Amino acid sequence: MFFKKEANSKFSFIIAGLGNPGDKYENTRHNVGFMAIDKIARHYGVRINKIKFKSLIAEADTDVGKVLLMKPTTFMNSSGEALREAMNFYKIKPENVIVIFDDISLDPGKMRIRKKGSCGGHNGMRSIIDLNGSDNFPRIKIGVGKKPHPEYDLAAWVLAKPVEADRKLIDEVCEKCVDASKIMMTGDFEKAMNIYNR
């Protein structure tokens, strides 16, 4: 069953990949959301190169209508500012916003789809939930692996680039986000979870 598009909205959905802007953070664990969005954009033949809503954006034509692709440039901890601006402008509800981000509790090569839920300790999701007053955001979590040991600095871990073997596994998951997001936009979360939550 398709989600209902708001009568005055240009877009059926927003798909946002989380990360940090700038060459310094390119291809780091914390930027897998950006990597996934780039693959989704490539699939639909668009380039995320317009600046709006404190983000790099693109419009994609999909089976469920026009979709706004977003890469917030606010830095991770303020991702909610960008999402709130776009959601308010186009009158898009949280359940029609798919957020893609990294998860250190999942091994590289793993992904988890959820219909809604808490931030799970992720600062980008915390910002989005806090500023929008809802945790009803569908999300795709991409595994980047846990810290080598408990004392290892978390920021140093997520802001570093994964080793080559892990990078390949992460890249494969980012590619899967294309089809996973398509299924999620039809509202069939059970199907999406059955396929990808392994």
Q: Single out the residue of 142, 125, 123, 149 nearest to residue 181, CA to CA.
A: 142
- What is the per-residue pLDDT for 4? 53
Residues in the chain: 198
Is residue 6 in some structural domain?
no
Find, among 141, 132, 134, 17, the residue nearest to 81 by Cα.
Answer: 132
Whether 151 has a pLDDT exceeding 50, the answer reads yes
Per-residue exposure over 127-162, b if at least 16 CB sit within 10 Å of its own CB, e if not? bbbebbeebebbbbbbbbbeeeeeeeeeeebbbeeb
Judge whether 185 lies within some domain: yes
The pLDDT score that the predictor gives to residue 149 is: 87
pLDDT at 3 over 60: no
Asked whether residue 5 carries a pLDDT value surpassing 60, the answer given is no
| Positions marked active-site | 30
**Is there a domain that residue 63 lies in?**
yes
Question: Rounded to the nearest 10 degrees, how much is the dihedral formed by the CA atoms of 57, 60, 63, 65?
Answer: 70
State percent of the chain over pLDDT 90. 80
Cβ atoms of 35 and 121 within 8 Å: the answer is no
Say what the pTM is: 0.92
Distance CA 193, CA 174 (A): 16
Per-residue pLDDT band at 155 (split at 50, 70, 90): confident
Q: Would you place residue 156 in the very low, low, confident or very high pLDDT band (cuts 50, 70, 90)? A: confident
**Domain for residue 33, yes or no?**
yes
pLDDT (mean) for 165-177: 96
Per-residue pLDDT band at 124 (split at 50, 70, 90): confident
Q: Is residue 40 part of a domain?
A: yes
Domain that holds residue 109: 13-196
Q: Count how many domains the chain has.
A: 1
Mean pLDDT along residues 94-114: 95
Q: Answer whether residue 1 shows pLDDT above 60.
A: no
Could you tell me if residue 49 is inside a domain? yes
Task: Examine residue 7 and state whether it is found in any structural domain, yes or no.
Answer: no
What is the DSSP annotation of 58-115? EEEEETTEEEEEEEE-S-GGGHHHHHHHHHHHHT--GGGEEEEEEETTS-TT-EEEES
160: pLDDT strictly greater than 90: no
Longest distance between any two alpha carbons in the chain, whole Å: 51
Write the Ramachandran bin of 167: left for phi over 0, alpha for psi from -120 to 50, otherwise beta: alpha
- Average pLDDT, stretch 124-135? 91
- What does R_g of the chain's alpha carbons equal in angstroms? 15
**34 has a pLDDT exceeding 80:** yes
Q: What is the CATH number of the domain that holds 135?
A: 3.40.50.1470
Percent residues over pLDDT 70 in the chain: 96
Residue 39, CA distances (Å) to 32, 84, 129, 159 in order: 11, 24, 25, 21
Question: What is residue 144's three-state secondary structure?
Answer: coil
* Dihedral of alpha carbons 45, 63, 32, 148, sign: negative
Residue-level pLDDT at 121 = 80
Cα–Cα dist 149/32, whole Å: 22
